[in-house]
Structure 1
Amino acid sequence: MTLQKMENVDFIDIYKKYRTRVVNIAKAMLHDADEAEDVCQDVFETLYNMGDTVDFMDEEKLSNLITRISFHKATDHGKIAFRKYEHVDSDVLMTMTDMGVKSGGNVDEIILTLEAAGYLQMIFQKLREKNRIDYEIYVSVTLYDIPSRLVAKHYHITENNVNNKVMRTRRWLAREYKKIRR
């Protein structure tokens, strides 16, 4: 079997044919149209860079490859986005404080809110260090609302196993929070 050379393939036609599918997969996972467009760009850049290693004439394989790349890029994009916001810096703290003051919250409430945010950051960091897979599964299901069946498929485990990990992680997070608050 010979692969169709990249220079013999009209990549624009492939883009037009599969763009909607890629965007829909990314939107379903990320719940954000702009993020989905970014994922779409990443998917087709990856596909283009694969060049002659892809058989562009085998529609079924090409379709499966694009779907698989889309899922993984959307998952990765979600992780990157979460990491971008999980570490609080002083500017973010000041903004939160200003919002609390403007909304009429008293100083004690603002301090408790900031303190709780710091605790949660420490707990999530501890979870990431303790068990990275459980952390990623919990974040995917609870924060990104990715269906547990898709998460299960990504990690090659059963959907029931994903649900159990989420439940156990939720209990662990609650216990850790109570320990810190003492």
Structure 2
Amino acid sequence: MNSEEFKAFYDRYYDVSVKVASAIVQSRFTAEDVTQEVFMYFYGIRERLDVSCEARLHALVVWKTTNKGRDYLRKSYVKREVMYDNDVAELQYRTTESAEAALLGMEKRQYLSMAFENLHRKNPVNFMIFMRVVMEGASTEEVAREFGYTRNNVNNRVLRARNWLLEELERLEKE
């Protein structure tokens, strides 16, 4: 796909992507950021895009925008959750008899956060599958359809991610 064809693709599907992203993130400005990331992805794979089927292109734009929007929400949720955890830890520190116990609790949360970040860096697919199944409560069948895997493969990836996280937590606590 040359730059003129990509420009036509961009012009045709920009509004579609913004509408899908707006429905997910509930903000026009954020939706435009999500859409920009989507089209940056498509620009990177423009040579492999099949422009012969309009319905397939539309579905691909909707699918990629949906996933990027969910990723954005997930990242925002984690940031809010971390802020909330710090507030709770501070409250626990004030109400706990032992400051040492409160500090240990804060340290454990920090190790857990680091373990998740390391899993995301090491194996992003297992991380995303683990988050969808365990943290968001999505069914393994739904996640298998999203990622194009079998249900057993999704279950195995969740199990591997869980075991890896446990090993990583042990390693971090020893350091």
Q: Same fold (TM over 0.5)?
A: yes
In the alignment, which residue of structure 2 is the partner of 1:112? Answer: 104
In the alignment, which residue of structure 1 is the partner of 2:134? Answer: 142
What one-letter code is carried by the residue in structure 2 that aligns with 1:146? A
- Looking at structure 1, the residues matched to 80 and 102 of structure 2 have their Cα atoms a distance apart, in angstroms, of 15
Post-superposition CA distance 1:19-76 (Å, at most 9, x none): xxx9xxxxxxxxxxxx86849xx7xxx9xxxxxxxxxxxxxx7xxx78x877665544
1:139–1:155 Cα change, 3 Å = same
- Looking at structure 1, the residues matched to 96 and 132 of structure 2 have their Cα atoms a distance apart, in angstroms, of 32
Q: How high is the TM-score relative to the length of structure 1? A: 0.56
In the alignment, which residue of structure 1 is the partner of 2:165? Answer: 173
- Looking at structure 2, the residues matched to 91 and 143 of structure 1 have their Cα atoms a distance apart, in angstroms, of 18
- Looking at structure 2, the residues matched to 158 and 86 of structure 1 have their Cα atoms a distance apart, in angstroms, of 28
Q: What is the RMSD of the two structures over their aligned residues, measured on CA atoms?
A: 4.1
1:145–1:161 Cα change, 3 Å = same
What one-letter code is carried by the residue in structure 2 that aligns with 1:111? L
Q: After the TM superposition, which of the residue ranges 171-180 and 79-88 deviates more from structure 2?
A: 79-88
Shift of 1:92: 4.9
1:38–1:175 Cα change, 3 Å = same
User: Is the contact made by 1:123 and 1:177 (CA closer than 8 Å) also made in structure 2?
Assistant: yes
- Figure out how many residues of one structure are paired with residues of the other and give that number: 139
Gaps of 5+ in 2: 1-19, 36-54
What one-letter code is carried by the residue in structure 2 that aligns with 1:118? Q
What one-letter code is carried by the residue in structure 2 that aligns with 1:156? G
- Looking at structure 2, the residues matched to 96 and 169 of structure 1 have their Cα atoms a distance apart, in angstroms, of 27
Identity score, percent: 22
What one-letter code is carried by the residue in structure 1 that aligns with 2:129? I
Shift of 1:151: 0.9
In the alignment, which residue of structure 2 is the partner of 1:162? Answer: 154
Post-superposition CA distance 1:157-181 (Å, at most 9, x none): 1011000100111011101111111
Shift of 1:87: 4.8
In the alignment, which residue of structure 1 is the partner of 2:143? Answer: 151
RCO greater where, 1 or 2, for CA within 8 Å and sep 6 or more?
A: 1
1:143–1:129 Cα change, 3 Å = same
Post-superposition CA distance 1:69-102 (Å, at most 9, x none): 7766554433222212435899656512332145
- Looking at structure 2, the residues matched to 38 and 88 of structure 1 have their Cα atoms a distance apart, in angstroms, of 16
Per the alignment, in what secondary structure is the counterpart of residue 145 of structure 1? Answer: coil
- Looking at structure 1, the residues matched to 96 and 113 of structure 2 have their Cα atoms a distance apart, in angstroms, of 22
User: Is the contact made by 2:25 and 2:69 (CA closer than 8 Å) also made in structure 1?
Assistant: no
User: Is the contact made by 2:132 and 2:138 (CA closer than 8 Å) also made in structure 1?
Assistant: yes
- Looking at structure 2, the residues matched to 169 and 160 of structure 1 have their Cα atoms a distance apart, in angstroms, of 14
